[in-house]
Amino acid sequence: MEEPDTEQAGLIDALAQTAFILTSALNRIAADNDLSITQLRLLGTLRGRSPQMKQLAGHLGLEKSTLSGLIDRAQRRGFVQRRPSESDKRVIEVALTADGESTARRIEADVRVAVEPIIRQLDPADRDALRVLLERMLGPAPS
Amino acid sequence: MEEPDTEQAGLIDALAQTAFILTSALNRIAADNDLSITQLRLLGTLRGRSPQMKQLAGHLGLEKSTLSGLIDRAQRRGFVQRRPSESDKRVIEVALTADGESTARRIEADVRVAVEPIIRQLDPADRDALRVLLERMLGPAPS
DNA sequence: TATTGTTATACTCTATAACTATA
DNA sequence: TATAGTTATAGAGTATAACAATA
């Protein structure tokens, strides 16, 4: 009972594998829908919101110039639209188009379909226990 | 006790947040070391191995042409070296340099430092329980 | 002057297709 | 012919710096 590092290595590995599998699933879903991971994040972020360019860049952790290009490409593909703000003429608001909205909905369903068979490996009690442990670990976590 | 979807949503969220936090940590570590995520994966993959270009491309899930460019840049930065195989003159073997090796070691330490404070949010018994649940979930998982 | 967004530029990562050298 | 690797080309994603319009 004196091998904390060895024990932790097992947990770190399990967490890493979990992250890897979920990220792989996201990558596959993006590819299946002919989107990049970044465009996928963009669509998810815009659901129910119409942020300004600057807010959106901050939310996605990107430079404003990077976001300009991203929105250019998303707009060219018909997923989003730019709307000039009326109160401040410098500001542009970004919103999903109907097409972008339905694509975002489809992505969300795909994610659910991908994740469900994984969590079904656990019975309901275990699923609940896992949720509680993860929430406890993430909860008061370091910033 | 008849809301399976709502319950699952909580678990899916917790898993997604876990993956997000771990991926963010990796991104930050890569950036702090002035590396891309791909170069970071490359260094990790090469520890203790000297694969052929084709094997390495397969391992990383990349096209051989993509790998050529990746290795060009890593070589230019002194992290890896190309070694022609003697048994088959078409083949190139890739290996870490001493510099690449020490960088890979530093990265590994950085990852441990980043993850430890997160899992320290749980007491030892909870950590073990979490490991068991994750392994159960991942274990006989779908291909 | 300060802020919002775009443009210019440059680099990494990625793939497809064509090519070279070896088997 | 088949295989290993490179090169040519194209596009997405990213950042920094300079710029235009508005506040």
| B16 assigned to some structural domain | yes
Host domain of residue A72: 15-121
Q: Do A97 and A82 contact (CB within 8 A), yes or no?
A: no
Name the amino acid, one letter, at A1: M
Q: Are B15 and A134 contacting, i.e. CB atoms less than 8 angstroms apart?
A: yes
- What is the bridge-based pairing of β-strands B80-84 and B92-96? antiparallel
* N-term to C-term CA, chain B: 31
CB pairs under 8 A between A and B: 131
CA distances from A123 to A25, A134, B3, B55, B133 (A): 22, 16, 15, 39, 10
What part of B 73-132 touches A (C-beta under 8 Å)? Answer: 112, 115-119, 121-122, 124, 126-131
B111 touches strand D (CB under 7 A): no
In 3D space, the residue among A68, A136, A100 whose CA is nearest the CA of residue B122 turns out to be A136
Q: Is residue B9 part of a domain?
A: yes
The strand ranges marked E within chain A are 80-84, 92-96
In the prediction, which pLDDT does A10 show? Answer: 87
Q: By the CB < 8 Å criterion, does B37 face chain A? A: no
Q: Please state, in angstroms and as integers, the Cα–Cα distance from residue B42 to each residue in A128, A142, B19, B51, following that order.
A: 37, 29, 20, 11
Task: Determine the protein residue whose CA lies at the shortest distance from the C1' of C22.
Answer: B90
Is residue A1 domain-resident?
A: no
CATH of the domain at B9: 1.10.10.10
Rounded Cα distance between B127 and B121, Å, is 9
Nucleotides in chain D near protein beta carbons (<7 Å): 3-8, 12-18, 21-23
| Any domain includes B143 | no
Q: Nearest by CB to A23, from B7, B23, B136: name it.
A: B23
- Distance of residue B73 Cα from the nearest chain A Cα, in angstroms: 23
What local confidence, expressed as pLDDT, does residue B2 receive? 44
Cβ separation of A141 and B129 shorter than 8 Å?
no
Does a structural domain hold residue B120? yes
**Of B97, B88, B96, nearest in space to B50 by CA:** B96
Looking at the domain assignment, is residue A51 inside a domain? Answer: yes
Separation of alpha carbons B60 and B77, rounded Å? 20
Q: With an 8 Å Cβ cutoff, is A10 touching chain B?
A: yes
pLDDT on residue A83: 98
User: For chain B, how many structural domains are there in total?
Assistant: 1
Q: Is residue B24 part of a domain?
A: yes
Which residue does chain A place closest to B122, by CA atoms?
A137
pLDDT at A2: 44
- Cross-strand bridge partners of residue A84: A92
SS3 A92: strand
Q: Which residue ranges of chain B lie beneath pLDDT 50?
A: 1-3, 141-143
Q: pLDDT tens, position by position, for chain A (143 residues)?
A: 444 555 678 898 899 889 989 998 999 999 999 999 999 999 999 999 999 999 999 999 999 999 999 999 999 999 999 999 999 999 999 999 999 999 999 999 999 999 999 999 999 999 999 999 999 999 864 43
> What secondary structure, in 3-state letters, does B105-117 show?
HHHHHHHHHHHHH
What pTM was computed for the model?
0.88
User: Which residues in chain B are closer than 8 Å to A134, comparing Cβ atoms?
Assistant: 11, 14-15, 17-18, 130
pLDDT, tens digit (0-9, with 9 covering 90-100), for B74-99? 999 999 999 999 999 999 999 999 99
CA of B95 to C1' of D3 (A): 22
Q: At what angle do helices A64-76 and A37-46 cross, to 10 degrees?
A: 90
> Residue B67: which H helix or E strand, with range?
helix B64-76
Residue A88 sits at φ, ψ, to 5 deg, of -140, 110
pLDDT at residue number B8: 79
CB-based contact A30:A37 (threshold 8 Å): yes
Nearest-nucleotide field for A65 (CA, C1'):
C6
A133 belongs to a structural domain: no
